[in-house]
Amino acid sequence: MLPTNFPLNNGGSIPAIGLGTFGPKESLKEIARSAIIDYGYRLIDTARFYQNEEYLGEAIQSVLKEGKIKREDLFITTKISNDEKGKGEIEPKLRESLKKLQLDYVDLLLIHWPLGATDNETKKITQTPLYQTWAEFEECCNKGLCKSIGVSNFGVQLLLDMFTYCKIRPAVNQIEIHPYLTQEDLVKFCQDQKIVVQAYSPLGSFGTKDLFWRPWKENILEDKLLKELAEKYKKTPGQIALNWGLRRNYVIIPKTERKERLEENMKAGSFVMEEEDYAKISKLNKNLRCIDTKYLDIAMRIPIFC
């Protein structure tokens, strides 16, 4: 068996497998409810940008009202981007999210993106300095509005800079990782610094209609090696890819809008492959990103991955 939880640097822990929710809105209530009740998911990941927090909140409350699951059994993550217009914006935004989620606190609050918003006409960038944003995250944590705080889409340089001013070190760095984007150096750096790595798009997000900025067409689930290993271990290619991620000791949050995939993804850690097979998967790296800001046709047009 592979890890089912990872320790956080503040003494808490985070489930190894969670449900990503980017994309679905109205359908999220049914999917999230089924994930928790039927398949044992405890980690659910959302963000203000997803515009689905209220639907997730309805799902959580419907589950809690049944009395089978307690609030402390769940690990709920949301995110706020660093594109607000000035100091003092984070707590009000978090309180809005909590109201939609119908919760008193979230278990993890992340800076969704380290970049600000760019005016399409003037090209002027609106961004609060990260040290100010992080101080507001720390204040929210001290007030009990979130149990842990962390970042998303941060590289080594931004993390090193953060270490010079943070009073609370980030507990998590959520980044894109899959067999075609292994991020070896960044993963190792975070783990050496006791920052839990969390992988979004762990299956390459193939088929996600919302990812109109995805600049490549390869389907990871059709990869020859993953299909061969799936046959060898009597699993699916998706389970092979997710299992590889768990073996690298980071959290995975695959998203799905199909109930049949919930069980498949949750069982990805129920087996162990031979070490040479994990090594083979790591060699599939092509440095291909699903989420590359160079291709975003929205306000955030800064190529932070250069």
Q: Give the model confidence (pLDDT) of 220-269 as tens digits.
A: 999 999 999 999 999 999 999 999 999 999 999 999 988 889 999 999 99
Catalytic residue ranges: 50
User: Residue 81 has which token pair?
Assistant: 């981007």
* Banded model confidence at residue 67, pLDDT cuts 50, 70, 90: very high
| pLDDT-above-90 percentage for the chain | 75
Please give the model's pTM, rounded to 2 decimal places: 0.92
* 222 DSSP assignment: G
> Domains of the chain (ranges plus CATH)?
5-295 (3.20.20.100)
Place of tokens 């507990």: 171
Question: Does position 303 have pLDDT exceeding 80, yes or no?
Answer: no
Assign residue 194 a region (left: φ > 0; alpha: ψ between -120 and 50; beta: otherwise): left
Report the 10 Å Cβ neighbour count for 19. Answer: 26
pLDDT value at residue 215: 59
* Banded model confidence at residue 214, pLDDT cuts 50, 70, 90: low
Q: Tell me the per-residue pLDDT of 77-117, one tens digit each, with 9 for 90 and over.
A: 999 988 655 567 899 999 999 999 999 999 999 999 887 66
User: Residue 102 has which token pair?
Assistant: 């119908």
Element (H, E) at 77: strand 75-80
Question: Does position 177 have pLDDT exceeding 90, yes or no?
Answer: yes
